[in-house]
C-alpha cells in the first residue's frame, strides 16, 4: 500500500467520499467535512489499532449507537458524567381549552312539535336569556287558547250560578244537592282554566298574550345567556314533540382545563397558582387563578387534565368563550429533580434524546436514548426518567452530527 493512501476496508478515501456523494445522503459540505475530519483524526494508520471510518459509520450494533475509539472521543471533546440532582424552581407551560360545565350547556327545544316557520339565530351568535331563537307552528296551541277563553267566559256564569244557589240554599229555597252541583261546576271550570294556562305557559304563551289574541306560533326562547353552538333544524322542517332545536353554551360556570403530560403529574398540586389567558393573547390577557382539581386518571394520549379556577369570573374575561384554546403557566418547586445541560439534549420528531455511554467489546459505544423533559431550569432541562449509565455532557453535538451521518449512510 502506498504512503499517500489509507485503506478503509479495501477502499480509498476518494472512493469512500464518492460513495457518499453518489447516494446523495450528505447535503452540506461543511457538515461532511467535519464528520470526515473527526474520522481522519481518529485513524492512525493500518497498524495503529484505531477505528476506521467504516467502523464509525457501519459497525454500530443498532441504528441508535455510535462506536468510537479514544482518539475520536478526545477530538470531539466528549466527556460524560451522571445525571445531576438538585432542588429547582421552574415553571411548566401548558395548553388547554375552556370547557362548558354541565350546567352551562343547554339544549333548547319545544314541548310541542310542528313546522319550523322561522329561525332567528345562527351558530356563533351571542344570545341573552329569554331571546327568541325560532318559531314553530302548531294548531294544538290554538285549541288550548280557545279552550281557555271559552272556560273563562263560562266561569263567570258558573261563579254567579254557584253564588245564587248558595243564597237559595241558605234561604231554604233550594236543595243542598243543587247548590253542591253548581259549586262543583264552578270549581271544575277553575281547574280547567288553570290546566290550560299551565299548558300554554309550557310553550311560552302567557294569559296576557291569550287575551290579546289567539296565536298559532310557538316562540322558542333561550333559557340561558351564552353562545349558540349549533342550530339543529331548518325552516320548513317538521319536528316532533320535545325535539332539540338549538344548542346554547353559557360561559357561566365554565371550566379552564389545561392538559399536562404524564411525566408532570408529580409536579402539579391543588392550590398552586396559575397564570392563564387566551392562547393567542398577550400579557394584557393574563388571568390569575389556582389549580382547583386534577384528573385522577391518564387519558389515552398520555395526558391528564388540570382544572383551574380563575379569580375573575369567566364570563367577564374579555374575548374568552367556551371552546376557545387557552394557555397556562404554573410555577413549581421540584425537590431532587434530575437535571441535564441543555446542550446535551436533542429533539427529533417531537421527542427528546440524549447520548448515553456504554461499553461493548472493550470499546466506547454511545447510545441515543429517549428521555422525558418536564421543564427547564436556567441552562438545564428537568427530566423524569434519568438514564442509569453515564450521559454525554460535553461534545454531544459532535456525536449528534456523526449519528446523523450514520443514518444517512445506512438509508
Q: Which of 231, 244, 230, 201 is nearest to 108 (CA)?
A: 244
**What is the DSSP pairing of strand 303-310 with strand 287-294?**
antiparallel
| Interval 95-117: pLDDT, tens | 999 887 777 788 999 999 999 99
What span, in angstroms and rounded, lies between the C-alpha atoms of 299 and 318? 31
What span, in angstroms and rounded, lies between the C-alpha atoms of 347 and 372? 11
Provide φ and ψ at 352, rounded to 5°.
Answer: -105, 145
CATH topology assigned to domain 106-249: OB fold (Dihydrolipoamide Acetyltransferase, E2P) (2.40.50)
What span, in angstroms and rounded, lies between the C-alpha atoms of 354 and 260? 23
**How many Cβ atoms sit within 10 Å of the Cβ of residue 135?**
20
SS3 107: strand
Helices (H) and strands (E) in the chain, counts: 8, 22
CATH topology assigned to domain 91-102+251-332: Elongation Factor Tu (Ef-tu); domain 3 (2.40.30)
Average pLDDT, the chain: 80
Length of the chain: 411
The count of C-alpha atoms lying within 13 angstroms of the C-alpha of 377, restricted to the half-sphere facing its C-beta, is 21
List Cβ neighbours of 138 (8 Å cut-off, separation of 6 or more): 112, 113, 114, 115, 203, 216, 218
Type and span of the H or E element at 275 = strand 273-278
Rounded alpha-carbon distances, angstroms, from residue 95 to 119, 150, 307, 325, 329: 36, 62, 12, 7, 9
| pLDDT over threshold 80, residue 345 | yes
Q: What is the mean pLDDT of residues 9-23?
A: 41
Report for 149-158, 294-303, 304-313: range of highest mean pLDDT: 149-158
Helix-helix angle 396-410:13-23, to 10 degrees: 70
| pLDDT over threshold 60, residue 30 | no
Instruction: Look up the pTM and report it.
Output: 0.49
**pLDDT of the residue at 25:** 42
pLDDT interval class at 62 (50, 70, 90):
low
Please report, for the chain, the start and end positions of each structural domain, with discontinuous segments joined by +.
1-58+398-411, 91-102+251-332, 106-249
| Interval 76-88: pLDDT, tens | 899 999 999 988 7
**How many Cβ atoms sit within 10 Å of the Cβ of residue 281?**
18
SS3 367: strand
What span, in angstroms and rounded, lies between the C-alpha atoms of 215 and 107? 25
Amino acid at each position: 500500500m502506498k504512503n499517500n493512501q489509507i485503506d478503509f476496508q479495501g477502499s480509498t478515501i476518494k472512493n469512500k467520499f464518492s460513495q457518499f456523494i453518489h447516494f446523495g445522503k450528505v447535503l452540506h459540505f461543511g457538515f461532511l467535512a467535519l464528520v470526515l475530519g473527526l474520522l481522519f483524526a481518529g485513524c492512525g494508520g493500518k497498524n495503529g489499532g484505531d477505528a476506521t471510518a467504516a467502523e464509525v459509520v457501519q459497525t454500530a450494533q443498532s441504528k441508535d449507537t455510535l462506536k468510537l475509539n479514544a482518539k475520536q472521543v478526545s477530538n470531539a471533546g466528549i466527556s460524560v458524567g451522571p445525571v445531576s440532582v438538585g432542588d429547582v424552581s421552574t415553571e411548566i407551560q401548558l395548553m388547554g381549552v375552556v370547557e362548558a360545565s354541565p350546567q352551562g350547556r343547554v339544549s333548547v327545544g319545544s314541548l310541542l312539535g310542528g313546522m319550523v316557520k322561522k329561525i332567528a339565530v345562527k351558530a356563533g351568535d351571542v344570545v341573552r336569556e329569554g331571546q327568541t331563537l325560532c318559531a314553530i307552528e302548531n294548531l294544538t296551541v290554538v285549541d288550548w287558547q280557545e279552550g281557555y277563553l271559552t272556560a273563562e267566559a263560562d266561569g263567570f256564569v258558573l261563579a254567579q250560578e254557584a253564588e245564587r244557589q248558595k243564597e237559595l240554599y241558605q234561604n231554604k229555597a233550594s236543595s243542598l244537592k243543587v247548590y253542591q252541583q253548581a259549586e262543583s261546576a264552578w270549581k271544575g271550570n277553575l281547574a280547567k282554566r288553570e290546566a290550560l294556562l299551565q299548558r300554554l305557559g309550557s310553550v311560552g304563551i302567557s294569559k296576557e298574550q291569550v287575551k290579546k289574541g289567539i296565536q298559532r306560533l310557538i316562540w322558542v326562547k333561550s333559557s340561558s345567556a351564552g353562545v349558540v353552538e349549533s342550530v339543529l333544524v331548518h325552516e320548513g322542517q317538521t319536528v316532533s314533540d320535545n325535539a332539540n332545536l338549538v344548542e346554547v353554551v353559557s360561559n357561566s360556570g365554565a371550566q379552564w382545563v389545561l392538559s399536562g403530560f404524564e411525566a408532570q403529574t408529580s409536579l402539579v398540586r391543588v392550590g398552586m397558582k396559575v397564570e392563564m389567558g387566551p392562547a393567542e393573547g398577550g400579557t394584557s390577557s393574563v388571568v390569575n387563578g389556582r389549580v382547583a382539581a386534577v384528573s385522577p386518571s391518564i387519558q389515552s394520549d398520555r395526558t391528564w387534565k388540570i382544572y383551574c379556577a380563575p379569580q375573575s369570573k369567566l364570563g367577564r374575561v374579555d374575548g374568552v368563550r367556551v371552546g376557545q384554546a387557552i394557555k397556562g403557566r404554573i410555577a413549581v418547586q421540584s425537590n431532587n429533580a434530575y437535571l441535564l445541560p441543555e446542550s446535551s439534549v436533542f429533539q427529533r420528531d417531537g421527542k427528546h434524546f440524549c447520548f448515553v455511554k456504554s461499553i461493548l467489546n472493550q470499546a466506547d459505544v454511545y447510545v441515543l436514548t429517549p428521555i422525558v423533559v418536564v421543564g427547564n431550569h436556567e441552562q438545564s432541562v428537568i427530566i423524569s426518567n434519568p438514564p442509569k449509565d453515564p450521559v454525554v455532557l460535553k461534545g454531544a453535538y459532535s456525536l449528534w452530527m456523526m449519528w446523523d451521518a450514520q443514518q444517512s449512510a445506512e438509508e
